[in-house]
Amino acid sequence: MNALLRALLALALLVPWLGFAGFPLFDLDEGAFTASTTEMFLRGDWLSTWLNGAPRHDKPVLAYWLQAAGASLAGFTEAGFRLPSVLAGSAWVFLTWAFTARQAGPRAGVLAAVMVAASLGPLLIAKAATADALLNLFLAAAGYAAWLWLDSRERRWLRLCWAAMALGFLTKGPVAVLVPAGTVLACLALDRDWRRMGDFLGDWRAWALFLAIAAPWFALLTLRDGLGFLAGFFLKHNLGRFSAPMEGHGGSPFYYLPVLFLSLLPFSGLLFSLAGRLGEAWRTPWLRFGLVWFLLVLLLFSASGTKLPHYLYYGYGGLIPALAWAALATRRPGLLLLPALLAGLAVFFLPDLLLAFGDRVKAEYAPALATLDQYFGNLFRLALGLAVVAAAGLILARRPGAPERLGLAGLALAGAVSLALLPAAGGLLQGPVRAAGQAARQLDGPLVMVGLNTPSFQTYAGRLVARRPPRSGDLVLVPTRRLDTLPPRLQTWDFGAVSLARIR
């Protein structure tokens, strides 16, 4: 591997760390996870998860335990809570490089690693204090180990696959088994290899390893809290999400087509390269495995009642190596770089677009638009401008080759997103909630939220926050525009979009 490829790989491994502590926690997902982890400390209950005084049974416990460890090491800050995701993001980059380089050579391996690090969707989840970076790491480990078992027949890979599925199950539940196991069984069915289906499902040591990792927490919590926990977790938060939209997250059967293109920016042009070589890819066993993996996820979640963008990323462990393989034979690398240039231009002009359509946004976002210039200023323009210039220069350049140029453009945009866009968007949208939470940490009285759902307030306050009607003596977080709906107040602290009010 030459010096440029080594440099690209090193930068890809560092991208999840770039600016990860430099912007506030985003609600709802980051807020809910970190508030639940904070509540573990406040309650002294390390077995179950709660949020704002109510049980939270929608996810297993591993992500919360790891966040608690991160907070203990790095403090109860954005850095501490995001540390597990950042580590998982870098590990996912490394696994993708190792697997793809083994199958398709060092250039494809490095481009695949850069795509995991710098594609918009995976980039964001690697910096988010949620369970998704961990789940994608375990899905990648399970899927790659499964292919190595299919290819080599070595039992160690089969058992590693089951161990990774167990860790994923303890992170987010049945999807961690459904995706890798479904991919293996689908590929074996296509090959009519029924005997190896039995080998995959019937290895008792693999099952013992899976149960030793995944079962104890479920068993302990069921013994303590009863069967209601299992019913809530499996029936409501897993089967229920598939059968009907939850929390308004629905969509058409074609929901994931734009998600696919947008989340892979600036590498979306490679989808067309892969489409042009789809027959060859399907005839190549390891690529067919990856395509089956991605198609299984696409079809499964397109049929699901609940749809969220990051569900599609569960298939990217199979798709991204195939895209990197397709890039090796591209004859028009300049065209493949156009999405990078267009994405950079779109983000560069994002503040102007927000102002142009400001009259169409919801009322709760109007205070944020009033402070737009405070966050999307000259430094933001400079960072995005440099990324756009880099992408344009790489389009015009003739060397290095297409994979290397794509990697360089992707890393330039990843740097701009990490160091300019996320801090600007975080300050704009979440800065008031963070300021209110930090102020509430110093004030006495019960904390209550009214008229909004921003669980990160509990994280920043470091105290339990209730969601109920306000009472005398309460310290209430409320949208500023709804202050007049509260009972008489003794004192008010204004933080822009939100305010704290002491009830008389």
User: Counting Cβ atoms within 10 Å, is residue 161 exposed (0-12), middle (13-18) or buried (19+)?
Assistant: buried
**What are 145-173's pLDDT values in tens digits?**
999 999 999 999 999 999 999 999 999 99
Residues 6+ apart with CB under 8 A from 436: 457, 460, 477, 493, 495, 498, 499, 500
138 pLDDT higher than 60: yes
pLDDT at 391 (0 to 100): 87
Q: What six digits make up the tokens of 321? A: 């190596």
pLDDT at 33 (0 to 100): 96
Strands 447-449, 54-55: pairing is: unpaired
Residues 6+ apart with CB under 8 A from 205: 155, 159
Report the alpha-carbon distance of residue 302 to residue 314 in Å, rounded: 13
Mean pLDDT value of segment 435-462:
95
Q: Is the peptide bond prior to 84 cis by the omega test (within 30 degrees of 0)?
A: no
- To the question of pTM greater than 0.85 for the whole model, the response is yes
pLDDT at 360 (0 to 100): 57
53 pLDDT higher than 80: yes
Q: What six digits make up the tokens of 207? A: 């099952």
pLDDT at 147 (0 to 100): 98
205 pLDDT higher than 80: yes
- Selection from 107, 32, 159 nearest residue 406 by Cα: 107
17 pLDDT higher than 60: yes
359 pLDDT higher than 70: no
Structural contact between residues 206 and 165, judged by C-beta atoms closer than 8 angstroms:
no
350 pLDDT higher than 80: yes
For the ranges 236-245, 274-283, 312-321, 406-415, which has the lowest average pLDDT? 236-245
Mean pLDDT value of segment 454-461:
96
285 pLDDT higher than 60: yes
**What are 214-267's pLDDT values in tens digits?**
999 999 988 888 776 776 666 565 665 665 565 556 677 889 999 999 999 999
pLDDT at 400 (0 to 100): 86
Report the alpha-carbon distance of residue 349 to residue 344 in Å, rounded: 9
Structural contact between residues 32 and 459, judged by C-beta atoms closer than 8 angstroms:
no
7 pLDDT higher than 90: yes
pLDDT at 397 (0 to 100): 82
Mean pLDDT value of segment 29-42:
95
pLDDT at 339 (0 to 100): 87
Mean pLDDT value of segment 403-432:
93
Domain range list for the chain: 3-15+96-332, 334-435, 440-503
**What are 79-115's pLDDT values in tens digits?**
999 999 999 999 999 999 999 999 999 999 999 999 9
pLDDT at 336 (0 to 100): 82
